[in-house]
A and B are shown apart, each in its own frame.
Chain A
């Protein structure tokens, strides 16, 4: 498969996952903001934008209209839903012959949905976010069901899960640490629920730990649970699977180092215990893992996409 095509498929999924994550977080936070006294409102807007890696002006006073527009529609904001969807579609357009027509059609529909003017949905942002999320689920399901699970599809999986792993890490290092760090407050449970909901994890968490919200349990669930698809451990397992498949299909002889990197990351999650992690410092742990994810991303590029040509030329 052409390196450029692999690159586009990888980013197509990363941008779709990012758009979905942004939509879900927005929906969860706007829900949360409805529920409470105004005391924490500004702090929560701030947290939302930090979680999404969006530009925040110093001493900004947040209000719903401008915040929604910034998150959803602002094309100058590279992480807005509009930017992500346009990037995803642009990448899809460049590899159209590789996608099933059904997949392409639904990416196109997502784009049309995203183009809806603000006045049409400003009254019910949650409903609109939900539609966007559903459309992305549809794309994921359709590509799963209609495309060959070949090398290209594995690159899409890889992009999807590396993006997901990074979003979980970011959520943990901003939101989790912020709630955990502040002095106890009687409505804290709302923030914990919001954190779980941001990973579609609330119900799944309750199935494992009951509705008893214990911070270390939450951390354990989101970081180390191997069965839950929005956990870090699960995402890393999927990354490793996809990389193994890609290695097999391409018969690559340059990927030993990459395999070691992802294997090491996976084992460290598999054999970790949450109390050890928190004792040694959660913030440091999250930073280390994030650095490893970046390292894997770069290694993928070095092996498969922008490898030095000179090494490959016949003598």
Chain B
């Protein structure tokens, strides 16, 4: 719907009551936190914005801030599309998000302690045992292993969405190896260079301290023997899609970026091979999935991992962040139980609600879902990155048929959710300002206490009408401003 009340720059701006708009109220007046930005946009010509956009793109390209797209022969490098206009979150909204995330992460950590410990929550009948034991990310080997400080999930990136009424809800807990934090930091740097005066006067809380916070979190996990712990970042290597981020984080923290082949284990102690001989390693921030960590303990064909690492870990000689087996708690089917998990451990109601979720193992829910495949979103429970997903309203008959067969063959492997009305935010697209669907991923650190950097990655579905924000599926990102006021 075209808005007659908006200036010509916004001529094609889509605004309607079905979707919450980040910038405008339904009567097309800017929300208070966006008023100054709106005013500034009216002073700028499309040509000026175009120049800014090019300056930003060049900055990413020349810095080589790219990710690798798979599917064609050689992995091609692309920049992660960046949208000029910031997404703004008020202090009040942030307070809710922050306390909601703290509550959720605390509860999920207690859940992991319990699942790999006494299993009270199973005995008390809150979570069905088969859901845990059939999860492809459950690691039997972790039963009874003492993790440092009892903390399993040290680095988390939770996906939030804003729904029709303007409140935030949790879409996914990413408890394994969440990525994207380097884009949050890089976006901010570019933003400060391009809109210095606007940014300077806006009262935006800084995010630059992430590197220090991450290092402090990792050091807090160090084994007792280490007074000045040696921390490393473990990467699968240069061909990984997030390799840029791994180098970036290592540089921000001033620690070594290692690959599996740089490490070796002797008598349950981990060493890295340096030009000055072997050096002991105390904490590993690993960006490798559980399966590939140690070919002796997990997948024997893994060439990325380190033989004997799991035994060194179990002996308490080295710490891993995140712990092994955390994926059992971010399984998409387990997600449906998180409000109950919060209530069970903390005796509180969830501050951030879940999205309604259908478990396809349940016969009644399954038959409802199969009848409504064209209206729902179906997701494979163990997948991420926007793969293995059916978006009902945008799918073909053939796709629905294929998903129906897959669901019937393995119902435990799927969940369904209503098609979400993700909120929309203004974006600069082809010389005009238009609205696009966005989500929000804040980053949470948990070493001795829960720390949340005021900000996060706002991902944008750049295709008009699209609801998929993943970078691998044509999504982009924008800087996110959390305000002091």
Chain A interfacial positions (CB closer than 8 Å to B) = 1-6, 90, 93-94, 96-97, 101, 104-105, 108-109, 151, 246, 249-252, 304-305, 307, 309, 312-313
Further 15 A-B residue pairs, CB within 8 A, beyond A1-B274, A304-B275: A2-B256, A2-B258, A2-B262, A3-B273, A4-B262, A90-B238, A93-B238, A96-B64, A104-B63, A105-B64, A246-B275, A252-B276, A305-B275, A309-B273, A312-B278
> Can you list, as one digit per residue, whether each of B251-271 has a CB less than 8 Å from chain A (1) or not (0)?
100001111011010100001
Chain B residues within 8 Å of A105, by CB: 62-64
| B250 interface hit (Cβ, 8 Å) | yes
Contact across chains for B274 and A2 when beta carbons are under 8 A apart: yes
- Does B423 interact with chain A (Cβ within 8 Å)? no
In the assembly, what is the distance between CA of A90 and CA of B74, in Å? 14
A101 & B63 in contact (Cβ 8 Å cutoff):
yes
Q: How many Å from the CB of B140 to the closest CB on chain A?
A: 31
Q: Assess whether B277 is interfacial by the CB under 8 Å rule.
A: yes
Residues of A within 8 A of B63 (CB): 101, 104-105
For B243, what are the chain A residues with a Cβ–Cβ distance below 8 Å? 93
CA distance A251 to B274 in the complex (A): 12
Known: A4-B261, A312-B278. A108 touches B64 (CB 8 A): yes
A250: contacting residue among B251, B264, B266, B275, CB under 8 A: B275
Using CB atoms, name the residue of chain B closest to A7: B275
Q: Are B278 and A313 neighbours in the complex by a CB distance under 8 Å?
A: yes
Contact B247 A3 (CB under 8 A): no
Complex-state Cα separation, A4 to B272, whole angstroms: 10
Given A2-B274, A97-B247, decide whether A309 and B262 contact each other with a Cβ distance below 8 A: no
A57 to B: closest C-beta gap in Å: 29
CA distance in complex: A3, B257 (Å): 12
Q: List 17 A-B contacts (CB under 8 A).
A: A2-B262, A2-B272, A4-B273, A5-B256, A93-B243, A94-B237, A105-B62, A105-B63, A108-B62, A250-B275, A250-B276, A252-B275, A252-B276, A252-B277, A309-B266, A309-B278, A313-B266
A111 smallest CB distance to B (angstroms): 10
The 4 closest A-B pairs by CB, nearest first: A250-B276, A97-B251, A97-B247, A304-B275
| Pair B64/A4 contact, Cβ less than 8 Å | no
Known: A4-B262, A104-B64. A97 touches B276 (CB 8 A): no
Contact B261 A309 (CB under 8 A): no
Report yes or no: A3 in contact with B274, Cβ–Cβ below 8 A.
yes
Chain A residues in 8 Å Cβ range of B271: 313
Q: Which of chain B's residues have a CB closer than 8 A to the CB of A251? A: 276
A313 to B270, CA, bound (A): 11
Q: How many A-B residue pairs have CB under 8 A?
A: 66
Q: What's the Cα separation between A90 and B77 when bound, in Å?
A: 13
Min distance, Cβ A81 to any Cβ of chain B, angstroms: 19
What's the least CB distance linking A262 to chain B, in Å? 16
Tell whether, in the assembled complex, residue B275 and residue A6 are in contact, meaning their CB atoms are under 8 Å apart.
yes
Closest CB-CB distance, B79 to chain A, in whole Å?
A: 12
The residues of B that contact A1 with a CB separation of less than 8 Å are 274-276
> How many angstroms between the C-alpha atoms of A108 and B175 in the bound complex?
34
Question: A246's closest neighbor in chain B, by CB?
Answer: B275
Which residues of the partner chain B approach A97 to less than 8 Å between Cβ atoms?
247-248, 250-251, 257
Write out the residue numbers on chain B whose beta carbons fall within 8 Å of the beta carbon of A304.
Answer: 275
Q: Contacts of B64 on A, CB cut-off 8 Å?
A: 96, 104-105, 108
When C-beta atoms are compared, the residue in chain A nearest to B257 turns out to be A97
B262 with A3: CB separation less than 8 A = yes
Q: How far, in angstroms, from A309 to B340 measured CA to CA in the complex?
A: 51
Q: How far is the CB of B286 from chain A (nearest CB, A)?
A: 16
A213 to B323, CA, bound (A): 71
Distance of B241 from chain A, by nearest CB (Å): 14
State the Cβ distance, B73 to closest chain A Cβ, in Å. Answer: 14
Residues of A within 8 A of B278 (CB): 309, 312-313
How many angstroms from the CA of A283 to the CA of B264 in the assembled complex? 46
Q: How far is the CB of A62 from chain B (nearest CB, A)?
A: 32
A109 CA to B62 CA in the complex, in Å?
Answer: 8
| B264:A309 contact, CB within 8 angstroms | yes
Cα A134 to Cα B63 in complex, Å, equals: 21
Chain A neighbourhood of B274, CB < 8 A: 1-3, 250
- Tell me, rounded to whole Å, the shortest Cβ–Cβ distance linking A10 to chain B: 11
Q: B262 — which chain A residues lie within 8 A by C-beta?
A: 2-4
List residues of chain A with CB within 8 A of the CB of B266: 309, 313
* Nearest CB on B from A307, distance (A): 8
B427 → chain A closest CB, angstroms: 28
Distance to closest chain B CB from A132 (angstroms) = 19
Closest to A253 in B: B277
Contact for A96 among B247, B273, B276, CB less than 8 A = B247
Tell me, in angstroms, the Cα distance from A270 to B262 when the chains sit together. 39
Bound Cα distance A205, B181 (Å): 55
Nearest opposing residue in chain B for A93, CB measure: B238
Q: Which residues of B contact A5 (CB under 8 A)?
A: 256
Give the distance to chain B from A26, nearest Cβ to Cβ, in Å: 27
Nearest to B255 among chain A residues (CB) is: A97
Write out the residue numbers on chain B whose beta carbons fall within 8 Å of the beta carbon of A94. Answer: 237-238
CA distance A2 to B273 in the complex (A): 6
The chain A residue with its CB closest to the CB of B61 is: A108
B252 to chain A: closest residue by CB: A97
Nearest chain A residue, comparing its CB with the CB of B279: A2
A94 and B240 alpha carbons, distance in the complex (Å): 11
For residue B459, give the distance in angstroms from its CB to the closest CB of chain A.
24
Nearest CB on A from B250, distance (A): 5
Separation of A94 and B236 alpha carbons in the complex (Å): 11
How far does the alpha carbon of A5 sit from the alpha carbon of B272 in the complex, in Å? 12
Q: A-facing mask of B59-93, CB < 8 A → 1, else 0? A: 00011100000000000000000000000000000
Which residues from chain B contact A3 at a C-beta distance below 8 Å? 262, 273-275
Distance, CA A37 to CA B256, complexed state (A):
59
A304 and B250 alpha carbons, distance in the complex (Å): 22
Q: Which residue of A lies closest to B64 (CB)?
A: A108
A114 to B275, CA, bound (A): 33
Residues of B within 8 A of A307 (CB): 273, 277
**Shortest Cβ gap from A165 to chain B (Å):** 22
Please measure, in the bound complex, the distance between the C-alpha atom of A52 and the C-alpha atom of B222, giving whole angstroms: 52
Residue of B nearest to A252 (CB): B276
**CA–CA, A313 and B268, complex, Å:** 12
A4 and B259 contact, CB distance less than 8 A: yes
